[in-house]
Amino acid sequence: MKSDGPHDAARREAIRRLLVLAPVLACGFGAAADMSTAVTSDDTSLRARKLHFSSLVIDTHADTTQRFLGGQFAGDGSFHPNLEFDFAARDARGNIDIPRMREGGLGAIFFSIWIPSKIKGPAAVARALEQIAAVHEQVRRHPADLAFATTAAEIRAAHTQHKIAALIGVEGGHMINSDLGVLRHFAALGARYMTLTHTGNVEWADSSGATPVHNGLAPFGREVIREMNRLGMMVDISHVSDKTFYDVLAVSQAPLLASHSSCRGICDAPRNMTDDMIKALAAKGGVIQINYHVAFLSQEFRDAEKKDPQINKSIEAEVFKLCGDNEACELIEGDRLTREYVQRGKLPRVEWSKIIEHIDHAVQLVGAEHVGLGSDFDGANMPYGMEDVTQIPKITEALLRKGYSEDDVKKILGENTLRVMAEVERVGRARTAAPQ
Ligand SMILES: [Zn+2]
């Protein structure tokens, strides 16, 4: 589609018309100017498309990595661990692939390196390394679409070249096996954040998903934070307990990232951040990246789950029957089966506009400089209207309709993440230069 031949004027016009309905068509980031001829939309939606497709849009958390490691759904919906997932093909399953990232105007994505908390020791390190290699392999296979990035400047450079920046975040400190050498190795391989815990405690920090055993951050955890500061890796406090969060905030020399967390002021999931935590995070320059998972967005959904715990158990049992212990399959089937329960009236329907409520809640608390997007795509249950990454331009439009300035929307879409990254890099350089 990116032809520049002499007979392209008519073709461009045809494409321009198509763009009203399908704004990507491989024109990717250059599509903004073509939006101007859309006649079916009002001024705000045109302004939103223009703004969205000219902004650097960053998602700091997607679990698509699991899919790279093998396993694919056949036409009949059955899962085959030996079939390969083609990231460059538009897929009906899951939330993310290259064509759909283009269509949604996504400029950078952090691929999560994740394994369940129960896997520990050298096995956890080995599996993390395998996933890191899988991300690099996707970048190698799709050089026209993806560029590996480790710094804010590299994200901007990828964007200038109309490529999607691919980054790595390690989700769970259990993968370093209490070894700073492993942490350094992950950093050398390009990991640019580490979520300190997943749903289980690690040897040196408490998670929000488990009974506390360390009273927050243990002494070795403080060393981990200091080393991450030195390495220029963002410290991600999504998933940690409230006490761990405040301990980390006190130790870290650099602003913190909550790569995929929503607001507890709206939905009381312990994984979400309280208003006080969001204020404390922002006061030290950090950013909360709003998570789209229905059970973190909606109190009604969370209450329904709590009222009838059997529902989640049934979903888990059905997922296990379909997927065994293949995590890529589990994540996607969990989302699909949850939808089935919603359709059968067993769980409440959550609309995508809840995402906007959470963004606005955080912005009202701390301003637009400290809020961003961390979808949890391919790792969570998406609300209606946010079925995949193609839907994210709606966020831009909704914020404009709420009266947000274009500048503030750009910050939320990606500039805040870039600012935090650049600051973390600066702290890393300063600490490396200073005598230890
Ligand atoms: Zn997570």
**375 CA distance to ligand 1 middle (Å):** 10
Tokens, residue 208: 């929000």
Q: How far is the CA of 413 from the centre of ligand 1 (A)?
A: 20
* CB-CB contact of 366 with 77 (8 Å): no
The alpha carbon of 169 and the centre of ligand 1 are apart by a number of angstroms equal to 11
CA distances from 436 to 227, 424, 430, 433 (A): 11, 18, 11, 9
Q: Nearest CA to 228 among 418, 370, 431?
A: 431
Of 1, 62, 77, 6, the residue nearest 34 (C-alpha): 1
Calculate how far, in angstroms, residue 62's C-alpha sits from the geometric centre of ligand 1.
Answer: 9
Q: How far is the CA of 161 from the centre of ligand 1 (A)?
A: 30
Q: How far is the CA of 304 from the centre of ligand 1 (A)?
A: 21
- Distance, CA 15 to ligand 1 centroid (Å)? 39
How remote is the CA of residue 379 from the centroid of ligand 1, in Å? 7
Q: What pLDDT is attached to residue 322?
A: 87
Residues of the chain with pLDDT under 70: 1-41, 82, 434-436
**2 CA → ligand 1 middle, Å:** 37
C-alpha 140 to ligand 1 mean position (Å): 26
Q: What does the pLDDT read at residue 302?
A: 96
- Rounded to the nearest whole angstrom, what is the distance from the C-alpha of residue 260 to the centroid of ligand 1? 7
361 C-alpha to ligand 1 centroid (Å): 21
Give the model's pLDDT for residue 41.
63
Can you give the C-alpha Rg of the chain in angstroms? 21
List phi, psi (to 5°) of 29: -70, -15
Compute the distance from residue 376 Cα to the ligand 1 centre, in Å: 7
What's the 172 CA to ligand 1 centre distance in angstroms?
9
pLDDT at residue 84, as a whole number = 80
Tell me which residue of 195, 383, 184, 407 sits closest to 291, measured CA to CA.
383
Ligand 1 mean position to 157 CA, how many Å? Answer: 28
Instruction: Give the span between the Cα atoms of 74 and 304, in whole angstroms.
Output: 33
* Residue 53 φ then ψ, to 5°: -80, -5
DSSP 384: B
User: How remote is the CA of residue 257 from the centroid of ligand 1, in Å?
Assistant: 13
Give 308 Cα–ligand 1 centroid separation in angstroms.
23
Q: Identify each DSSP E strand in 154-247 by its residue range.
A: 164-171, 191-195, 234-236
Provide CATH code, domain 56-433: 3.20.20.140
Ligand 1 centre distance from Cα of residue 103 (Å): 25
Cα 430 to averaged position of ligand 1 atoms, centre (Å): 30
Using the mean position of ligand 1's atoms as its centre, give its distance from the Cα of residue 195 in Å: 8
Give the DSSP letter string of 283-346: HTT-EEEE---HHHH-HHHHHHHHH-HHHHHHHHHHHHHHHTT-HHHHHHHHHHHHHHHHHTTS
Q: How many CB atoms lie under 10 A from the CB of residue 91?
A: 20
CA of 153 to the centre of ligand 1 (A): 26
Contact 61, 374 (CB under 8 A): yes
Give the Å distance between the CA of 147 and the centre of ligand 1.
24
Q: Is residue 109 within 8 Å of residue 65, measured between CB atoms? A: no
- CA distances to 109, 258, 260, 366, 392 from 399, rounded to whole Å, are 21, 21, 19, 16, 11
Give distance in angstroms: CA of 19 to centre of ligand 1: 34
Q: For residue range 132-170, what is the model confidence (pLDDT) as tens digits? A: 999 999 999 999 999 999 999 999 999 999 999 999 999
What per-residue confidence (pLDDT) applies to 1?
32
How many angstroms is it from 28 CA to the middle of ligand 1?
Answer: 28
- Ligand 1 center–CA 198 separation, angstroms: 6
What is the 171 CA–ligand 1 centroid distance (Å)? 7
Element containing residue 109 per DSSP (H, E):
strand 108-113
**Cα 3 to ligand 1 centre (Å):** 41
